[in-house]
Amino acid sequence: MRRAGAQEQRARAQRIPARALCQAPDGRRGRSHRPHALTSRLPPPSTWLPGSLPDDNLVLHDWPLPVGGPIRGQVLLVHGLGEHAGNYTELADQLNHWGFSVRGYDQYGHGDSSGQRGDVPDEDRLMRDLATVIDDTRAVMDDRLPLILLGQGMGALVAARLVSRKLRRVEGLVMSSPALSVCSRIAQAPLLRAMALVAAHWPIESRAIAEDMTHDLQAIEAWRKDRLRHECLTARLAHFIVKHGEEVLARAPRWKLPTLLLYAGRDQLVFSEGSERFARLAPADVVQAHHFPMHFHALLHELDRQPVYEALRQWLCARYPAIMLNQAPPYP
């Protein structure tokens, strides 16, 4: 097992089986993976839970806080289409500075995780994976700490869908440019629903070019050189985005989880009308919305991202006070 060298990024990558949802966390089917997501020494950089096929794994990235200091909670990052968790190191550093431990993972078909790029075997796969990661994270968290989901684009949709169906307990949700209403070049693809049934793996042109994501030229150049990023999208995944964006909007009037909604006015990938509709339908005392009229889709990577970060900081720190933990959870 290779250990990360000093020159590698601070986030440590691990692997867990994508089908670990049914595995008991107490290790009855073998020694369970306990990554110490909150306050502990770093775990091995690569680990496989037993009881799953080695070619069906999710890669985790952890940015833990030092032992013994104040902590506000655990943030779980859910990246967007074509991205991977490693793209969010700057955000993770900011969250650490504000008192939050951070975990991210590469979704199925993205980054270093298993799966065909931009595809899913069924429409529930991404949500099952998120549930798996939540379970794995909960297994090592102190019960006094909140778990907050933070999703970007498609990742925000996956997180919102899990929340709307109440599949797992979480204490907060942040949606950045959620894919609640996608642009016409995806939503109006000819016979999209039929294609998802009879030609599920057929590629659809997403046109998610870097210049439409951010005004930050350095970020654009870095993304072009990033071998783990892609612009792939199949009929089944496109249908998932279109179908379940409407499902989340339909459940907005009954929304109960504290939620921060961040959306851009010049988004070329998703319609801002979807976020506006969600904010209008959801209870005002539950959902707080911030509109950035001149920003592109990748709000957290925008050239002028400081107002976005500040809105995020204020919302998180106002709701989740810092506490001191007596000791770190046990490390097997």
Quick one: pLDDT at residue 234? 84
Question: Architecture of 12-324 per CATH?
Answer: 3-Layer(aba) Sandwich (3.40)
User: What's the pTM?
Assistant: 0.83
Q: What is the pLDDT of residue 34?
A: 30
User: Would you write out the chain's pLDDT as a tens digit for each of its 332 residues?
Assistant: 333 333 334 455 666 555 443 332 333 222 223 333 333 333 333 333 322 445 678 899 999 998 889 999 999 999 999 999 999 999 999 999 999 999 999 999 999 998 989 888 888 999 999 999 999 999 989 999 999 999 999 999 999 999 999 999 999 999 999 999 876 555 555 566 655 555 555 666 655 677 889 999 999 999 999 999 988 888 888 888 888 899 999 999 999 999 999 999 999 889 999 999 999 999 999 999 999 999 999 999 999 999 999 999 999 999 999 999 875 554 44
CB of 71 closer than 8 Å to CB of 325 = yes
The pLDDT of residue 195 is 58
For residue 175, give the 3-state DSSP assignment.
strand
**In a 3-state reduction of DSSP, which class is residue 165?**
coil
**What residues contact 74, with CB distance under 8 A and at least 6 apart?**
37, 38, 100, 101, 102, 103, 137, 141, 145, 146, 147, 148
The pLDDT assigned to 133 comes to: 94
- Token readout for 180 is 């609640």
The per-residue pLDDT for 27 is 31
Token pair for 185: 């070049």
Residue 8, judged by CB atoms within 10 A of its CB (0-12, 13-18, 19+), counts as exposed
Compute how many other C-beta atoms are within 10 angstroms of the C-beta atom of residue 131.
16
| Residue 50: CB atoms within 10 Å | 13
The contacts of residue 158 (CB under 8 Å, 6+ apart) are 78, 107, 126, 127, 130, 151
Give the C-alpha distances (Å, rounded to integers) separating 195 from 187, 220, 258.
12, 32, 36
